[in-house]
């Protein structure tokens, strides 16, 4: 069990993440070369983008004297699963506020979280929707004790700074030898951080897993510009693509998406999560068939982990 204590140690761990060739026969026919950065292999419990987003938040909690963190999520939340594992490893108390009533049987995700010592607090959906309201958060801390608050999904500037280290590592690994880097998008924090971490001349393409974008683009822009505000000049190098949500967040994959999932895993031997990475790769393949990228393009796709979530789905 590795305990990463410094930003340099996290940067070193990010640099050690392998890139795996994943050019399917269809992509090869289109003249596209695809490599998957296997951040799902970063850590057995803290995989994908989850720990990057938690690292600076946990550092801030400790430096500010907090012995407890509090965050939010659903019954299969990758974020809460990683937070519970990290809190256990770093010996800090954790509270997970869960959307909905406590079920008779916990999901495998929440069973893990509880086993790692996370206190689970179930609230109604109406209450959960108040999770950004100051007075509600004050009441929560009055009830459960002083806590360092981490937004749902680790969606804050500290979270984006962690993913920025992933971007720096990717640049060192590839020396800029790629046409674009792609990442699935939920809150947009990882897209902002990745775009701020790579060469500004390289496009970073985010594939939204949400059915409705809402203010997602505006939130990404705000976060990105905060990360790069110290630079004398910058131009946005990210794009957000919708239309590959597969019916909506965490929905059962359609028959066509399921067949893509099965085919990709058989072809590449790379396990995918059913909520994020699968939809990005489906989007990449679909756009390649439409001629979105010139022949000869080398693409990098970020595997954001979340494989623990496979337990809630019928998988290939």
Chain segment 41-67, per-residue pLDDT in tens: 999 899 899 999 999 999 999 999 999
Domain that holds residue 231: 7-45+157-312
CB 203 within 8 A of CB 240: no
Mean pLDDT across 6-33 = 96
- The verdict on 93 and 163 lying in the same domain is no
Domain final residue, candidates 121, 154, 187: 154
Q: State pTM to two decimals.
A: 0.94
* CB-CB neighbours of 218 under 10 Å: 11
DSSP annotation string for the chain: -----SHHHHHHHHHTPPEEE---HHHHHTT-EEEEE-GGGS-SSS-TTHHHHHHHHHHHHHHTT-SEEEEEE-TT-HHHHHHHHHHHHHT-EEEEEEESPPPSS--HHHHHHHHTTPEEEEE-HHHHTTTT-HHHHHHHHHHH---EE--GGG-SHHHHHHHHHHHHHHHHHHTT--SEEEEEESSSHHHHHHHHHS-TTS-EEEEE-SS--TTHHHHHHHHHHHHTTTSS-----EEEE-S-STTSTTPPPPHHHHHHHHHHHHHH-----TTTHHHHHHHHHHHHHTT-S-TT-EEEEE----GGGGGGS---
Same domain for 28 and 163? yes
Mean pLDDT on 126-140: 94
| Mean pLDDT within 251-264 | 84
pLDDT of 195 > 90? The answer is: yes
User: Is residue 2 assigned to a domain?
Assistant: no
Residues 170 and 276 in one domain: yes
* 149 confidence band (pLDDT: 50, 70, 90): very high
Mean pLDDT of the region 273-293: 94
* 199 & 280 share domain: yes
Across 233-254, average pLDDT? 76
Average pLDDT, the chain: 92
Read off the pLDDT band of 91 (50, 70, 90).
very high
Does residue 63 share a domain with residue 16?
no
Question: Do both 184 and 297 map to the same domain?
Answer: yes
1 in a structural domain:
no
Give me the percent of the chain exceeding a pLDDT of 70: 95
Number of domains in the chain: 2
Question: Do 136 and 182 belong together in one domain?
Answer: no
């Amino acid at each position: 069990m590795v305990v990463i204590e410094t930003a340099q140690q996290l940067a070193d761990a990010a640099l050690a993440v392998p890139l795996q060739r994943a050019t399917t026969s269809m992509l090869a026919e289109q003249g596209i070369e695809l490599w998957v950065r296997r951040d799902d292999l970063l850590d057995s419990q803290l995989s994908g983008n989850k720990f990057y987003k938690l690292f600076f938040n946990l550092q801030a909690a400790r430096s500010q004297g907090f012995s407890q963190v509090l965050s939010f999520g659903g019954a299969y939340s990758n974020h809460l699963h990683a937070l519970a594992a990290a809190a256990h490893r770093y010996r800090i108390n954790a509270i997970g506020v869960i959307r909905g009533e406590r079920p008779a049987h916990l999901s495998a995700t929440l069973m893990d979280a509880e086993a790692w010592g996370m206190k689970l607090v179930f609230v109604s959906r109406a209450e959960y929707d108040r999770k950004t309201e100051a007075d509600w958060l004050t009441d929560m801390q009055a009830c459960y004790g002083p806590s360092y608050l981490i937004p749902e999904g680790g969606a804050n500037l500290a979270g984006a700074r962690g993913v920025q280290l992933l971007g720096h590592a990717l640049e060192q690994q590839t020396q800029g030898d790629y046409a674009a880097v792609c990442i699935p998008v939920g809150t947009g924090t990882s897209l902002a951080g990745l775009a701020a971490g790579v060469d500004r001349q390289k496009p970073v393409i985010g594939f939204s897993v949400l059915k409705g974008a809402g203010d997602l683009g505006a939130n990404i822009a705000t976060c990105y510009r905060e990360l790069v505000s110290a630079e004398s000049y910058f131009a946005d190098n990210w794009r957000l693509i919708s239309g590959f949500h597969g019916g909506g967040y965490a929905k059962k994959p359609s028959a066509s998406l399921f067949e893509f999932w099965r085919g990709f895993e058989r072809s590449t031997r790379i396990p995918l999560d059913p909520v994020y990475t699968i939809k990005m790769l489906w989007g990449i393949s679909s756009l390649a068939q439409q001629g979105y990228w010139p022949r000869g393009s080398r693409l990098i796709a970020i595997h954001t982990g979340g494989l623990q979530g496979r337990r809630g789905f019928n998988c290939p």
